[in-house]
Amino acid sequence: MKALRFHEYGGRDKLVVESVPDPVAGPGEVVVKVGACALNHLDVDFREGISRFPLELPLIMGLELAGTIVSRGDGVSEEWKVGDRVAPYLMGTDPAHLMSRTGREKLGFEEALAAEPERLAGVEEALMSETEQVLPSGHRAHHQHRHRAYFSRGLYADQLERWLEHFDRAQLLVVGTEDLLARPQEAYAEVLGFLGLREWQLDDFPEHNKKPYSAIEPGVRARLEERYAEPNERLERLLGRQFSWAQSARSSST
């Protein structure tokens, strides 16, 4: 069969149409004959090498598709039959699924925190450059900042101060995730009011991408709380409000 795929990260020039072996359904799998395929923004991220998912190259493009089951492997539920029309969700939430694991990080959390300054050395300058910078790995310069800035991305005051250099404070609305989760309707109404839109009532506020996380080792948590203490106080002053998570960190450190 013919497939659109890429063998290395980059722009559209890296895409090639070539012949590949017809797929064969393995245990627990089905083969779907594609009837329609869309372009998802993740397809572009995959091609550019900036997604957070582990990839094996060459990779066939086409994350969103619809089609018909043409063959079944052993162990497939009788719920799925040859001839069924399906629209597979290829980014399933099964933690054992290859595309649901973030496996691009090889270091433990504490090791990754320690390695962050070296990993991000020169990245901010590259991001501000007028020409796009490419790392030896083939990734764009912002790849390191997007995937390796564990501590730096939590410096919200630094990020907000950059925005305030260009926009009036009245033009920015900051909604805390804890507020959205605890009082979704109120947070939603606040956003509508800020945008000058009419009131609207939603029936439900489902949580997406919610995943369990293992507890942080107490010593690592204590060091993070100490490092974040000053930036979080600065954030509270900028926004004129206190955050429960910042207060909790201060309480635990006293």
pLDDT in tens, the chain (254 residues): 888 899 998 888 999 999 999 999 988 889 999 999 888 888 888 888 877 666 778 988 888 889 999 999 998 888 899 999 998 866 544 333 333 344 456 677 888 889 888 888 877 777 777 676 666 655 666 667 777 788 988 999 999 999 999 999 999 999 988 889 899 999 999 999 999 999 998 988 888 766 666 778 899 999 999 999 999 999 999 999 888 777 666 666 55
Tens digits of per-residue pLDDT, 199-251? 998 988 888 766 666 778 899 999 999 999 999 999 999 999 888 777 666 66
Which residues share a beta bridge with 173? none
Burial of residue 132 (number of CB atoms within 10 Å: 0-12, 13-18, 19+): exposed
What is the CATH T-level fold of the domain 2-100, as seen in this structure? Answer: Quinone Oxidoreductase; Chain A, domain 1 (3.90.180)
What is the CATH T-level fold of the domain 155-254, as seen in this structure? Answer: Rossmann fold (3.40.50)
Reported pTM: 0.57
Backbone torsions φ then ψ of 189, nearest 5 degrees: -65, -35
Cβ 233 vs Cβ 240: under 8 Å: no
What is the C-alpha separation between 221 and 211, in angstroms, rounded? 20
For the chain, the structural domain boundaries read: 2-100, 107-153, 155-254
